[in-house]
Structure formats: structure tokens, C-alpha cells
Amino acid sequence: MASRVQKKDDDESDFLFENLDKGQVIQEKRAFNESPIHPRKCSLVISQFLYLLSRGDSFTKTEATDIFFAATKLFQSKDIPLRRLMYLLLKELSTISQDAIIVISSLTKDMSHKIELYRANAIRILCKITDSSILPQIERYFKQSIVEKDPHVSSAALVSSIHLLKVCPEIVKRWANEVQEAISNKSNMVQYHALALLHRIKQHDRLAVSKLVSNLIKNSLRSPYAQSYLIRCCVEVIEETNTEDRIFREYIESCLRSKNEMVAYEAARSICTFKNVSNKEINSAVGVLQNFLNSTKPTLRFAAVRTLNKLAQTNPTAVIPCNLDMENLITDTNRSIATLAITTLLKVGNESNVERLIKQIANFLGDINDEFKIVVVDAITSLSQKFPKKYKHLIIFLNKILRDEGTLQLKQATLDAILTVVNNIPESKEIALTELCDYIEDCDFPDLSVQILHLIGQEGPLTSSPAQYMRYIYNRVLLDGGIIRAAAVTSIAKFGLLYEPMKEKVVILLQRCLLDEDDEVRDRATLYLKLFKENDVRYLNKVLMDDVPVPLNNLQKSLELYLHQGDFSEPFDIASVSTVVETYQSPLLGDGKSPFSTGASKKGDSVTGTPKSNNASNNNNNNEESSGPESFATKLSQIPQFSTFGKLLKSSEYIELTETETEYVVNCVKHIYREHIVFQFNCTNTLNEQQLSNVSVKMVPSDPKLLKYECSIPIDVLPYGEPQQCYVAIRYIPANGYPLCSFSNALKFKVKEVDPSTGELDEPGYDDQYSLERLEIVPKDFLNRAFVGNFSEEWKKMSEDTQLVQTFSLVGVKSIDEAVKQIIKTLGMAPAEKSEVVTPKSAKHILYLTGKSLNNQLIYVRARMKLDQSQTNTDVELTIKSDDESLNDFVISAFIEK
């Protein structure tokens, strides 16, 4: 008899909820109202709702509310599996439905139920729907649950408290004693959650965190989860306090010998991230990771090789003992592990095995995701600097990644790697250009095509046979979209400028572009043709070869402001555009630095971070000052006290005067006028139990003779979490010199206590003050960036009679790249001729800078630098040229104390 059992096809799905319809399921909620309740039927309906939510289906507020209140009828059921599903559904819908607060009485009743399962789940839902007005009423239930003997209830209360800490921190902080008691619970998970909560309660008090960690180290936690968390707390204390107490390091070292693999790995990983670590410590950590490389568990092998991969970037010699073990991982069935092993070997390996490793990566490149491909690309980039003779193999390999399927992020990283190889190894230029020319024939990303065309236009005319590239460029004019065609026209024009024999052919090709349907293409072709016919080589150089010297977003806003003001008596000056670009750094990942970091953008792209409104430090300037002096000028001109100061000449970057975790967060921007300086203090009150009023900054100058106090504008009211600005203005006389001095600062205010639950103020308050960091007026505050087409020509034109030459040493600066960055930062002037780019591991370099004074006097700076014999300092010869000898002395004063 033939069997009737048939084998299902692999592609055939028997998933119960696959074709589930939301409308039909919503109708099924009537099962919750049936009497008696049918647990099996209701459980199926709840499972369907949970599946819809996990699938991403959205419910309107009305739908969610109806389902929520229908599900509350199930509180009558005593079926435990059904109650578990009901709690889960209520938790998911509590944030969507209206009036979810109505179930608090039922949940509070369940918090004292004899069945632990009810108590734990009731706590989890309560933390979702509780706000600062309700929490005081149920506070005692949470405190009782935290010290509950049952680990499920205690863990639920602790994790819920971590969430409630964001809602009402002042109430949760009062539970510290109960949380401390929970740390002694026998459950591993309860210990871990209790430690996590206690650390969050004390995290803004460094001394309290340090004491907590010290006590827990002595009491020796049993939970491996808590031990791992304690290791991270030790790292935090070491990094933030720079303590010399060995107890924290010794604890981490002792954890290397733990029998628990998770704890041992966390200790090894932490030691590998230390900035100052001894050879003994790093060798011990690497030894533990080496053992994990041979583990039978893929997770341990992956964790170990990833940590070694990161360590190889900063300390490659420490990883060398693991080379043999990582060689064995190249054939690992887990492709992520194999990729990390090979890239780590590439970072620490020698020249003889580079080709073999690259071939092995190529064999399984298609089996790994784009994230790990980017890791491979980064390793290849660093390899090109280490073994420049292997450039052919590296370029061919990178081109293979470029041609394969992948995201724009991967393609961009690969193209950047190729550009890095070309910049560092001139011999690789022709092979790289040939490969890229082939790639743009089938490139799916316009942004990449534009960048490649730019590179071909820059470097193609300088190769041995420039004509071979013209066919690829002109194909783009014929076959691609408007953006790419416009870039191709510019690239063609560069060949005519840089390679004289092709000039006539270039003119012919540009004439064919005059009838293009795209305005941008026609305009570019018309401009280039006119300049070629007039043989205006200098302007062609300026138009074709010079990068836009300022961030494009800033340039756009400056032009819009210029047009809006309607005063066209003076032409627009690009030198007036701000080069300050704001970036946001999350305080969760931060290191105590300003959330506003400034710097020149790459190729004129502006990078502006948008801080969240609930972050005190980052919200100082949410709605203003995103584009530098342009928006500063608009706002300051509207303040009557400053309206007579004239034109704003310069605004500084943000200068932090407090740390980001303090009670009051303050940073400052210096606004320079012809005869005045306005200090704008951005203040944020991070204490929700205080309201400040009459907030001002008292500034005491180190040399009062250099300046005169003009006026001060205080903040009337500074409530919690709402940034405000106060101002101090001083006057100086330019004829007497710029007022280079420092200020001691104090934030002065009146404090009124606030009841967080009611918002009521405690009158009348009391006067108080808060010390701020010192603030300096430095030479770069009076120097603007300037841009010239040809620095060498302008340098030769300037007379040597007025030049100033000064030599000095940058103490503690151990690399040329660091020296270049420090000089640019100190002077605030614009690098010329791409001299800010330093050849890797170079021992000497020449930096060119251009700037101008507030009187528009041009300044040219040449900095010759080299590492001294000890390789720990950088010697600098600074030559300054301008038409004013006193201006030269002023510039050099930024480095030389007089």
C-alpha cells in the first residue's frame, strides 16, 4: 500500500499567520468579551495581534485603544499562559492607545499577587505607562519588588527602574538603598541589573562611582554578568579620573584568570583599549585572546579576532604572537571570522605573504556582507602604506570589490581607498585610472562617477599617454545623466589646460556640448570655451583646479544673506564665508569634549549635526548659528546694545567652559568687531529641581589696561533644560594693539528651588555662583582665512625685507601630521596648495598658510618642520610675509611667549 504521506516542498510554507489580515484579526477581539472566557481561543487572537505588531503593521489610536480595553477583560482569567500573553499585548499597546493609565489599579493589585509571574509582568507594564505624577503613588510597590526574593520579580523591578530613571530620576534615586541590597541577591541576573541601575543613579557623581566600584571590587561579585559590567565601570573610572590607584587595574588583570569566558574576554578587551598600558598587561590580555582563537565556540573566536583586529591598528607588534593561530582561522567556516583573521594578518604581516592573503580573501569575498568588506578595504588601505611595492595587487583587488554588487557606502569606501593608494604611491596612478575608466562604463552611482571623472581630469593629463582616457570621458557626455555630463565637461577642459597637445581636440569636444539639453552642461562648456579662446590660463587654473575653499552649505547661506540684504555696493567676498562646520558628538559616547567640534570640511561638504532637544549640552544653539558668522551677525544686529558696533568681522568656534556632565553647562563664542568684542555665553541648567534667574557671567581680565567694559546682558530666567544666552561686551582700541589676555570667569545667578512633581517655585531664592574655565583672547581671533590661486607666485611677489623668520619647537608633538594640525589650529589660517596633506611616516614637511587681518591685509606663512633626534618633539621654522612688520610680530606671538 502506497504511503499517503507526501514530503512538502522546501519552498512551501505552513506558517499559520503568513496571510494574516489586520481587519479580520481586529474583529476577532470580540473573543475577549465572551463569557466564560475561552483561553485557547483568546491566546490565538493575542498571538495574531503580536505577530501583526512584530511584522510592522500600524494601528491607529482608536484601534489600539479598543484592543487594549478589550484585552483588559482577560484580567478575570486564571489561566497562566493566557495571562502571560495578555501582559505582553498590553505592554506593546500601552504606548499607542489612549487612557492606558486606567489599568493601573488592576496592575497594582497584581503587583501584590501571590503568583510571581503576575507580579513581574505587572511591573513591566507599569513602567511603560507611569509618569512623574503617578510614580509617587506606587513607589512603595517598586521598592518592595526590588528586594523581593524571587529573582524574576526583582529583575523586572530593577530593569523597569532603569527605564523610569529617564522619566522621574529624582524618585528613582531615592531607591538606592534597596538597589544596594539587591546586589547581594544570589541570582546572577539580579546582581547584574542591580549594579547597572546603581551605576546609572550615581553616574553624574564621579566620586560616588569610584567609591561604588572600589567597594564592589572588595566584595567580589559572583555573577559573571555583574563582573563584566564592573570591569566596564573600572575602565570608566580609570579614563575619566586618571587615577593612579592600582586597585582598578589589578581587578581587571585578575579577571583575566576568571574561569568564566565572558568575564575573561571582557577583561582582555578592556586592557586592549587602554591608552597607557604596559607590555606586561597587554601581553597577558593577548594571551587570553590567543586561547579563545582556538575555542570550539564560534562566538569566542569571533570576539577574540575582532578585538585583535582593533588592537592591530594601534599596537601591531602585540598581535604578532597570534599570527599562527589566525592563519588557521583563514579556512574557518564562519566567513566573518575568516575575514577578520585575514585583515588582521594583513595589518601585522610581512611583504612576502601579502599576495597569498589577498588571493584567499578574493576566494570568499562573495560570501561576506558589506560591513566586513569595508573592514577588508580599510586593511588594504593601511597595507598600501606599509608595502607600496604591492600596489598592483592592491589596486586590482580593490577594483574587484568596486565591480561586485554592493551598497554605496561600500563603493565609496573602496573608491576612497583607491584614491589613498594613488596619492601615496605615484607609480599606481596609471593602473588605477585604467581600472576606474572601465568601472564608470557600468557605474550605477552618479556620485561615484563624478568623483572618478574629477580624478581622471586631475591626474589623466599628467600620465604618459593622456589621450587614451578621453574616449571614456566623452562616452559619459553621450550616455549619462546631466550631473555626470557636467562633470565630464569639466574633466575634458582639464585635459586642454594641463596637456597642451590636446587643446584643439578639447575645444572641438566642448563645442559639441553647447547644444546639450542640460543648462549646467551648456554653461560650463560656454565658460571653458571662452577662456580657451582668450587663452586665460590663470583664470582657467582658478576655475578648474582650485577646490571650493569653504563648506558649500556655508557658501549657499552667505550668498542668500547677501541677496536678502540687497546692498550690492560691494561685491560678494568668498573670504567672508565661515569655514566653521558644526558636528555633534553623542554624550553617551563622549569623552568630556565639546559637542560642537569645528574643522574644515572635506571638499567643501558641510557636516552639521542636529542635537536632540533633551540634551542640555547640545541644545545651546539648536535654532541658530548653524552656519557661522552669517546667522550670528543677523541675531546680534537685532540686539539694541550691539547695533552700533558695526559689521561683525569674525566669530570663533565654540569654547567649552564646563564639562558636559556638570550641573550647569556653559560654552562661549567670541564675536569680533572693529572696536568691540562680544562674548556670547550659551548656558544650560541641567538640574530639574532648580530654576535660575538673573544669570550673568563675571569676567575678570588679566590685564585691565588693554580693554574697557562696555555692557552686559543677563538671562532673566533659565529653567531646566532650556538653553539661553547671556552676553558681555568689551571695547578695545585697535591703534593700541589687539587685547591679547585671559579672563577668569564665574557664572552668577539666583537659585529658586522647584518641586519636580508640581513645578512650584520656592520663593524668594538665594544668590550663588559657579566657577568656569579661563577664557583667552588669542591672535587667531583677529585673523581670517584667505585663499589665493597660486601660493608660490604670491610668495615670490612679497618682499623679503619685511618678512619675519622664527624657529621654535613644538614640545611633545611626535608626528609631522600632528604638528601640521596644531599649527593650522593655532593660527586659524587656510592651508594652500594642499600642503595640509602629510605623507605617512614623514620626518619633515612644508606647510603653506594664507590669511588676512581684520584690516584685510594679506598674510603668507611658510612652516618648515622636522622631527628632532629624539623623535618626541617637532622643530619648526616659521616664515611670515606681509606688508606690515607689526602684523608679522602679531602672528608669531601665537607661538612665542614674550
Task: Output the pLDDT for position 579.
Answer: 56
Task: For strands 664-672 and 690-701, give the pairing.
Answer: unpaired
Interval 348-365 mean pLDDT: 72
Task: Output the pLDDT for position 756.
Answer: 66
Task: Output the pLDDT for position 594.
Answer: 32
Specify the 3-state DSSP secondary structure of 690: strand
Q: Angle, to 10 degrees, between the axis of helix 519-534 and the axis of helix 503-512?
A: 150
520-534, 706-720, 786-800: which range is least confident on average? Answer: 786-800
| Residue 312: C-alpha distances to residues 177, 273, 330, 359, 755 (Å) | 44, 11, 17, 21, 53
For Cα atoms 652, 653, 655, give the angle at the middle one, nearest 5 degrees.
Answer: 105
* Whether the Cβ atoms of residue 274 and residue 242 lie closer than 8 Å to each other: no
For residue 435, the tally of other CB atoms under 10 A from its CB is 17
C-alpha to C-alpha distance for 145 and 155, rounded to whole angstroms? 9
- Checking if the pLDDT of 1 tops 60, the result is no
Percentage with pLDDT > 90 across the chain: 21
- Checking if the pLDDT of 295 tops 70, the result is yes
- Checking if the pLDDT of 6 tops 60, the result is no
Interval 857-884 mean pLDDT: 91
Percentage with pLDDT > 70 across the chain: 90
C-alpha to C-alpha distance for 106 and 544, rounded to whole angstroms? 73
CA-based nearest residue to 59, from 100, 18, 9, 95: 95
Amino acid code (one letter) for 757: S
When pLDDT is cut at 50, 70 and 90, the band that residue 154 belongs to is very high
Task: Output the pLDDT for position 608.
Answer: 30
Specify the 3-state DSSP secondary structure of 17: coil
The residue ranges of DSSP E strands in 470-530, in sequence order, are none
C-alpha to C-alpha distance for 492 and 466, rounded to whole angstroms? 11
695-704, 814-823, 829-838: which range is least confident on average? Answer: 829-838
What sign for the dihedral angle of Cα 446, 447, 450, 452? negative
Task: Output the pLDDT for position 596.
Answer: 30
- Average pLDDT of every residue of the chain: 82
- Checking if the pLDDT of 595 tops 50, the result is no
- Checking if the pLDDT of 680 tops 90, the result is yes
Interval 141-167 mean pLDDT: 89
- Checking if the pLDDT of 666 tops 90, the result is yes
- Checking if the pLDDT of 341 tops 70, the result is yes
Please give the model's pTM, rounded to 2 decimal places: 0.57
C-alpha to C-alpha distance for 239 and 252, rounded to whole angstroms? 14
The pair phi, psi for residue 171, each rounded to 5°, is -75, -45
What sign for the dihedral angle of Cα 555, 560, 564, 566? positive
Interval 146-172 mean pLDDT: 89
- Checking if the pLDDT of 597 tops 50, the result is no
C-alpha to C-alpha distance for 698 and 700, rounded to whole angstroms? 7
Task: Output the pLDDT for position 621.
Answer: 42
Task: Output the pLDDT for position 137.
Answer: 84
- Checking if the pLDDT of 192 tops 90, the result is yes
When pLDDT is cut at 50, 70 and 90, the band that residue 383 belongs to is confident
Amino acid code (one letter) for 389: K
The residue ranges of DSSP E strands in 732-803, in sequence order, are 742-754, 761-776, 783-785
For Cα atoms 321, 326, 331, give the angle at the middle one, nearest 5 degrees.
Answer: 160
448-452, 544-548, 688-692: which range is least confident on average? Answer: 544-548
Interval 464-468 mean pLDDT: 85
Residues 487-507 pLDDT 10s: 888 888 888 888 888 888 888
When pLDDT is cut at 50, 70 and 90, the band that residue 631 belongs to is low
C-alpha to C-alpha distance for 48 and 4, rounded to whole angstroms? 32
Q: Which residues of 373-383 are buried (b: 16+ CB within 10 A; e: fewer)?
A: bbbbbbbbbbb
- Checking if the pLDDT of 251 tops 60, the result is yes
Amino acid code (one letter) for 163: H
C-alpha to C-alpha distance for 194 and 162, rounded to whole angstroms? 9
What sign for the dihedral angle of Cα 622, 627, 628, 630? negative
- Checking if the pLDDT of 173 tops 50, the result is yes
Task: Output the pLDDT for position 536.
Answer: 77
When pLDDT is cut at 50, 70 and 90, the band that residue 345 belongs to is confident
- Checking if the pLDDT of 102 tops 60, the result is yes
- Checking if the pLDDT of 593 tops 70, the result is no
More confident: 540 or 848: 848
**Non-local CB neighbours of 797 within 8 Å, separated by 6+ positions:** none
- Checking if the pLDDT of 315 tops 90, the result is no
CA-based radius of gyration for the chain: 33
The number of CA neighbours under 13 Å toward the Cβ of 119 is 20
CA-based nearest residue to 621, from 536, 541, 702, 724: 724
Task: Output the pLDDT for position 284.
Answer: 92
Task: Output the pLDDT for position 556.
Answer: 82
* Whether the Cβ atoms of residue 443 and residue 412 lie closer than 8 Å to each other: no
Task: Output the pLDDT for position 604.
Answer: 35
Q: How far from each other are the two terminal CA atoms of the chain, in whole angstroms?
A: 107
Per residue, the 3-state secondary structure of 220-269, as one string, reads: CCCCHHHHHHHHHHHHHHHHHHCCCCCHHHHHHHHHCCCCCHHHHHHHHH
Q: Which residues of 475-493 are buried (b: 16+ CB within 10 A; e: fewer)?
A: ebbeebeeebbbbbbbbbb
* Whether the Cβ atoms of residue 387 and residue 357 lie closer than 8 Å to each other: no
When pLDDT is cut at 50, 70 and 90, the band that residue 407 belongs to is confident
C-alpha to C-alpha distance for 402 and 135, rounded to whole angstroms? 56
Specify the 3-state DSSP secondary structure of 368: coil
Long-range contacts of 15-22 (CB under 8 A, 24+ apart): 17/47, 17/48, 17/51, 20/48, 20/51, 20/52, 22/52, 22/57, 22/59
More confident: 620 or 93: 93
For residue 9, the tally of other CB atoms under 10 A from its CB is 7
Task: For strands 708-713 and 715-718, give the pairing.
Answer: unpaired
Task: Output the pLDDT for position 866.
Answer: 92
- Checking if the pLDDT of 479 tops 50, the result is yes
Interval 765-791 mean pLDDT: 87
- Checking if the pLDDT of 628 tops 60, the result is no
When pLDDT is cut at 50, 70 and 90, the band that residue 15 belongs to is low
The residue ranges of DSSP E strands in 570-663, in sequence order, are 583-584, 596-597, 650-651, 655-656
More confident: 381 or 51: 51
180-189, 261-270, 434-443, 566-575: which range is least confident on average? Answer: 566-575
When pLDDT is cut at 50, 70 and 90, the band that residue 623 belongs to is very low
Q: Which residues of 389-401 are buried (b: 16+ CB within 10 A; e: fewer)?
A: ebbebbbebbbeb
